Amino acid sequence: MGTASDATPDTDDRGEEIDLDALRARYARERERRIRPDGAAQYRSAAGEFGYYAKDPYTPRTEREPLTDTVEVLVVGGGFGGLVTGARLRQAGVESIRMTDEAGDFGGTWYWNRYPGIHCDIESYSYMPLLEEVGYVPRWRYAPGEEIRRHAVAIADTFDLYRDAVFHTRVTALDWDDQACEWVVGTDRGDRMRARFVITSSGTLTQPKLPGIPGIETFGGHTFHTSRWDYGYTGGDQEGGLTGLADKRVAVVGTGATGVQVIPHLGRDAKHLYVFQRTPSSVDVRDNRPTDPEWAASLKPGWQRERMENFLAIVSGERVGTDMVQDGWTSTARLQRKMISGALDTSVSPEERERIDELVDARKMNQIRARVDEVVDDPATAELLKPWYRYMCKRPCFSDHYLQTFNRPNVTLVDTADHGGITRMTEDAIVVGDTEYPVDCVVFATGFDVGVSGVMSGALPVRGRGGRDLLGSWSRGPRTLHGFYSDGFPNLFQLGAVQNANSVNFTHILVEQAEHIAAVVARGRKDGVPVIEPSAEAVEEWGRTVRETAHDNSAFQAQCTPGYYNREGAGVHGGFSYSPGPVAFHRLLRDWREDRMHEVLGAKP
Residue numbers at the binding site for ligand NDP (CB under 6 A): 119-122, 205, 211, 213, 253-259, 261, 276, 278-279, 395, 416, 421-422, 445-448, 563-564
Q: Shortest gap between Cβ of 417 and ligand NDP (angstroms)?
A: 7
Those residues whose C-beta lies under 8 Å from the C-beta of residue 245, and which sit 6 or more positions away, are 234, 235, 266, 269, 270, 271, 441
CA distance 365 to 135: 40
- Which neighbouring-strand residues pair with 177? 182
Please identify, using beta-carbon distances, which residue of 115 and 556 lies nearer to ligand NDP: 115
Query: How many other CB atoms sit within 10 Å of the CB of residue 18?
Result: 17
Give the shortest CB-135-to-ligand NDP separation in angstroms: 24
What's the closest the beta carbon of residue 228 comes to ligand NDP, in angstroms? Answer: 12
**Phi and psi (nearest 5°) for 275?**
-100, 115
What's the CA gap between 119 and 503, in Å, rounded? 18
**Which residue, 414 or 471, is less far from ligand NDP as judged by CB?**
414
Angstrom distance (rounded) from CA 119 to CA 139: 12
CA 332 to chain centre: 19
Residue whose CB is less far from ligand NDP, 227 or 310:
227
Cβ 550 to ligand NDP, closest distance in Å? 22
For 107, half-sphere exposure in the C-beta direction (CA atoms, 13 angstrom radius) is 22
Report the candidate in 439, 375, 444, 447 with the shortest Cα–Cα distance to residue 412: 439
Pick between residue 395 and residue 516 the one whose CB is nearest to ligand NDP: 395
For residue 420, the minimal CB distance to ligand NDP (Å) is 7
Shortest Å, Cβ 418 to ligand NDP: 12
Query: By C-beta, is 450 or 522 nearer to ligand NDP?
Result: 450
β-strands 429-432, 70-76 pairing: unpaired
Distance (Å, rounded) from C-alpha 524 to C-alpha 62?
37
Residue 141 CB, nearest approach to ligand NDP (Å): 13
Residue 34: CB minimum distance to ligand NDP, A:
6
Nearest to 94 by CA among 157, 163, 155, 151: 163
Q: What is the DSSP letter of 203?
A: -
Longest dimension (CA), the chain: 72
94 or 205, CB closer to ligand NDP? 205
Helix intervals (H) in 58-180: 80-91, 109-112, 124-127, 131-134, 145-158
- Is the CB of 98 or the CB of 394 nearer to ligand NDP? 394
Work out how close the CB of 31 gets to ligand NDP at its nearest, in angstroms, rounded to a whole number.
11
Per-position DSSP letters for 403-425, written without gaps between them: HHHTTSTTEEEEE-GGGTS--EE
Kindly tell me which of 355 and 424 has the beta carbon lying closer to ligand NDP: 424
Provide the minimum distance between the beta carbon of 258 and ligand NDP in the complex, in angstroms, as a whole number: 3
- Nearest-angstrom CA–CA distance, 495 and 512: 10
Q: Measured between alpha carbons, how far is 197 from 583 in angstroms, rounded to an integer?
A: 28
Distance of closest approach, residue 559 Cβ to ligand NDP, in angstroms:
16
Q: Which of 352, 329, 349 is nearest to 339 (CA)?
A: 329
Nearer to ligand NDP, 419 or 551 (CB): 419
**H or E stretch including 275?**
strand 272-277
Give the nearer residue to ligand NDP in terms of CB position, either 450 or 597: 450
Residue number with CB closer to ligand NDP (36 or 355): 36
